[in-house]
Structure formats: structure tokens, C-alpha cells
């Protein structure tokens, strides 16, 4: 059995504290400096990489924040469960089915870095908020560090770590110019440990079972399991837990998809990369494996596009969404992303002006790497990979012969008009 985070919860969803304790037992205490140092060593030896997208070593980040405590500033722990990526469901599944595992991870992290304050941020108006607030109330009298639950605006870039910190400090939920990074000066100016909730849930299991247990599954260089949001033909949309290093093809098969019915695979979400199916199916789900083919794990999303959908149309839809969701803090977002989105819209729907082809290439090159945050980089990476992967369809659209699927309804998920929020607070 490879399930660890979701072990036992697929068949009977009971997220109560009593069931959690029956399943996992109580969290080992970390009262003494020796116990905390030992847990830091365990985290280092485990090889756990952050599950929020960047894949940064969890132990190194933890030690950096803990060093701030030694300099006299009490750190803060910030758990990111916002999941602003429309194609992602993994954090929602984890927080609704195993919220106490995340809360255990928050407590462990707080003890390890010497924090006396912790925050858990989720998306405003989501079912996740109800689940985590109930879980926090169940353990309010027993937790060493109080966890405050916050609801963030429903915006794509709002869940970036500097945006979270800025929002908790009373500002707008927009990415801030860095440095300083949150681990240097974050919430209330204090060193802040920002971790995705999946990372913290793994930490809770590590505290119970140790580094050797954690390393028993997965890629030896990037051990453990991953939660992946999977979508694909015939009509599969689910979250599945697999060992790192599992190939994309094996993942899709385990999730109940038909890999042979996919024309391309999107890996990493809307800041990710489209890959040709033949290449994607044999690619391992690891940072190293995906980098080798120009991809990234990103938000932990694998979407196999059915042959009945149009890759050009899907890319145009998402590009328009990303352009509208920018924080509007720099020229690449204010001018570049809308221009790219408009060119793709005209490519997908017509009328196409052949002068747009070199202009689109130029905009992609100019926007990339010049933004105030990473939003334009992610958007251009997504679009550039689509133009390469769907090159035949692009050629057909440019010549006025769009594919038969170009008029089909959108397949990739995007927020509805009801979910969209105009503000940043």
C-alpha cells in the first residue's frame, strides 16, 4: 500500500480527532532542545522536499527559520492551504479528510522552530474552511500553539507566500517585492516558516515514524509520496497518492484514466508545461525527472487532454484567465499578458492576422523573466509549451482550418463568475 497521507480515508471519510488518533496515535512531544534538534536531524535525513511547488528541502527551510529564534525574534508558522490553482484539489482533499494530520504538522513545525504563533490560510467560502475550523476547535485545549484560521480572497496569485504574508500584515493579497523573504521578515516582521499543508502533513508522519520509514517508498533522491490532482479521459477527476518517481502513464492508469485517449498531458498546472503524450507517459513524477523534459511538478497537477478537446482553445481560455488574474504591478502583467491572451483568442476563434505570429513570439520573450513576481513567467511557460506541443493544430488554426474540436466546451477547470472576486482583501 502506498497511501500514507490518505491511508484509510478513501473508504470511510471520518475527519474527527478521535478517528485520527485511532489511525495515527498521539504526536510525540518535542519539549527539550535535544528532542527538537533530533527532529531537525530526522527531517534532514528524510529528504523531504516541499510539496508546494518549488521543491525546496524542508529541513533547510526549517533550520533557517529556527535561526531567527536564536537571534531573539520568535518565529511564526504559516500553513498554506489556499489552493488558488483551479485545476488542483489535493489540498482540499487533505484538509477535509485528514485535517488533524495537517494540524499535527503545524504543531511539530512550531515546536521545531520555536514559534508561539501559527496561521492556517484557506480559500474564502470553501468547504475547507468549515472542516479546518471544526478540527481546530476539537483540539483547542490541547495544542501547545494556537492556530488561527484565515480565509483568503479567491485570486490566483493570492496564495504566493509573499502575498500571504502581506495580506496577514493588513495589506492586499498580492505578491510583494523580495527580498526580504518571509523567512527573514514575514508576519509582523518576524521570521516566518511558510509551508504547503501537504508538506506539514508529511512532517506529522515523520515525527511518528522516522526518516527511514519515510524513505522506504519513492525516488531515492526525492523520497516519499505525492498527492496529485488528476484529470483525464474518459471522465476522471480525482486526487491520488503515489510514490515519487511514478511515471505519468502509471499515475493515469491508477487513477482510472485511459492514457491512449490523451492527445497531450499538462503537468504542473497553469504555470506548468504541456507535454506530448508519448513523452509524458514515460516521465517520472519527480523534480529531476520532469526537469529533464522541460517540465516541473508545480502544483501537483496532471491533466491528460482528451482528443475530443482543442489544445489551442484550452490554452487560450487559460491564458485569458491568467491575464485577468495578475496583480497588475508591472508592465509584463499589465500589457504583455493581455496581448498574449488576445493573440491566442484570435488564433483559437479567428480572425487570425498573420502579423500576430512574430508579435506573439516577441511578447513571450519580452515578458518572461521581467515581471515583479513569477506570474508572467508561469503564464508564458504554459503558453510557449502549448505552441510547441500543439504545433500541428496551431498551423491549422493559422491557415483558417481549425480542428473539429475547436468549438467544444472548455475542459480545463476555471472559476465561475460567481467565484471570482474583484478585490484583494
Burial class of 373 by CB neighbour count within 10 A (0 to 12, 13 to 18, 19+): buried
The Cα 216–Cα 245 span in angstroms is: 13
Res 230: pLDDT: 98
pLDDT level of residue 12 (50, 70, 90 thresholds): low
Same domain, 152 and 127: yes
The whole-number average pLDDT for the span 101-127 is 95
Mean pLDDT score across all residues of the chain:
93
Q: Is the pLDDT of residue 47 over 60?
A: yes
Residues 351-387 have pLDDT tens digits of 899 999 999 999 999 999 999 999 999 999 999 999 9
The whole-number average pLDDT for the span 229-245 is 96
Q: Is the pLDDT of residue 69 over 80?
A: no
> Would you call the peptide bond into 94 cis, given omega within 30 degrees of 0 as the criterion?
no
Res 319: pLDDT: 98
Same domain, 192 and 252: no
The whole-number average pLDDT for the span 10-38 is 88
Res 133: pLDDT: 97
Res 1: pLDDT: 55
- For the stretch 181-188, contacts whose Cβ atoms lie closer than 8 Å and that sit 24 or more positions apart, written own/partner, are 182/78, 183/61, 183/64, 183/65, 183/68, 184/68, 186/76, 186/78, 187/76, 187/78, 187/117, 187/119, 188/76
Residues 125-158 have pLDDT tens digits of 888 999 999 999 999 999 999 999 999 999 999 9
- pLDDT above 90 coverage of the chain, percent: 84
**Residue 352: domain span:** 311-407
Whole-Å CA distances, 43 to 80, 108, 227, 277: 19, 11, 19, 36
Same domain, 349 and 292: no
Residues 385-419 have pLDDT tens digits of 999 999 999 999 999 887 777 767 799 999 876 56
The total domain count for the chain is 3
Same domain, 362 and 347: yes
Same domain, 99 and 138: yes
Comparing C-alpha atoms, which of 167, 162, 96 is closest to residue 126?
A: 96
DSSP letter (8 states) at residue 27: P
pTM for this prediction: 0.95
Contact 176, 165 (CB under 8 A): yes
Same domain, 173 and 47: yes
Q: Considering 184, 199, 216, which residue would you say is the last residue of a domain?
A: 216
- CATH number of the domain residue 372 falls in: 1.20.1440.230
Res 335: pLDDT: 96
Amino acid at each position: 500500500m502506498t497511501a500514507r497521507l490518505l491511508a484509510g480515508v478513501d473508504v470511510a471519510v471520518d475527519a474527527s480527532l478521535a478517528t485520527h488518533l485511532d489511525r495515527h496515535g498521539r504526536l510525540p512531544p518535542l519539549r527539550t532542545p535535544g528532542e527538537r534538534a533530533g527532529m531537525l536531524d530526522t527531517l534532514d535525513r528524510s529528504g523531504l522536499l516541499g510539496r508546494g511547488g518549488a521543491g525546496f528541502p524542508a529541513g533547510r527551510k526549517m533550520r533557517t527559520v529556527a535561526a531567527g529564534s536564536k537571534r531573539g525574534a520568535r518565529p511564526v508558522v504559516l500553513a498554506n492551504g489556499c489552493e488558488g490553482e483551479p485545476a488542483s484539489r489535493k489540498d482540499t482533499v487533505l484538509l477535509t479528510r485528514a485535517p488533524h494530520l495537517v494540524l499535527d504538522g503545524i504543531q511539530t513545525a512550531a515546536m521545531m522552530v520555536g514559534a508561539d504563533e501559527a496561521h492556517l490560510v484557506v480559500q474564502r467560502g470553501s468547504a475547507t474552511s468549515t472542516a479546518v475550523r471544526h478540527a481546530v476547535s476539537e483540539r483547542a485545549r490541547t495544542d501547545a500553539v494556537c492556530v488561527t484560521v484565515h480565509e483568503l480572497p479567491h485570486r490566483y496569485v493570492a496564495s504566493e507566500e509573499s502575498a500571504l504574508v502581506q495580506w496577514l500584515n493588513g495589506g492586499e493579497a498580492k505578491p510583494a517585492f523580495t527580498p526580504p523573504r518571509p523567512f527573514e521578515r514575514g508576519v509582523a516582521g518576524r521570521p516566518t516558516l511558510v509551508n504547503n499543508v501537504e508538506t506539514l502533513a508529511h512532517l506529522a508522519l515523520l515525527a511518528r515514524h522516522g526518516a527511514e520509514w519515510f524513505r522506504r517508498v519513492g525516488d531515492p533522491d526525492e523520497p516519499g509520496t505525492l498527492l496529485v490532482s488528476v484529470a483525464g479521459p474518459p471522465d476522471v477527476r480525482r486526487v491520488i497518492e503515489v510514490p515519487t518517481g511514478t511515471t505519468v502513464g502509471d499515475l493515469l492508469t491508477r487513477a482510472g484514466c485511459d492514457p491512449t485517449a490523451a492527445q497531450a498531458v499538462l503537468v504542473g498546472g497553469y504555470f506548468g508545461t504541456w507535454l506530448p503524450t508519448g513523452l509524458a507517459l514515460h516521465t517520472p513524477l519527480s523534480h529531476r525527472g520532469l526537469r529533464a523534459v522541460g517540465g516541473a511538478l508545480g502544483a501537483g497537477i496532471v491533466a491528460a487532454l482528451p482528443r475530443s478537446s482543442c489544445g489551442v482553445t484550452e490554452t487560450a481560455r487559460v491564458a485569458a484567465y491568467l491575464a485577468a488574474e495578475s496583480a497588475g504591478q508591472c508592465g509584463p502583467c499589465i500589457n504583455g499578458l493581455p496581448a498574449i491572451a488576445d493573440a491566442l483568442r484570435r488564433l483559437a476563434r479567428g480572425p487570425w492576422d498573420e502579423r500576430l505570429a512574430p508579435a506573439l513570439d516577441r511578447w513571450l520573450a519580452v515578458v518572461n523573466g521581467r515581471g515583479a513576481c513569477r506570474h508572467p513567467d508561469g503564464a508564458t511557460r504554459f503558453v510557449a509549451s502549448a505552441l510547441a506541443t500543439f504545433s500541428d493544430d496551431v498551423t491549422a488554426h493559422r491557415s483558417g482550418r481549425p480542428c473539429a474540436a475547436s468549438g467544444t466546451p472548455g475542459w480545463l477547470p476555471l472559476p465561475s463568475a460567481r467565484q471570482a472576486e474583484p478585490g484583494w482583501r
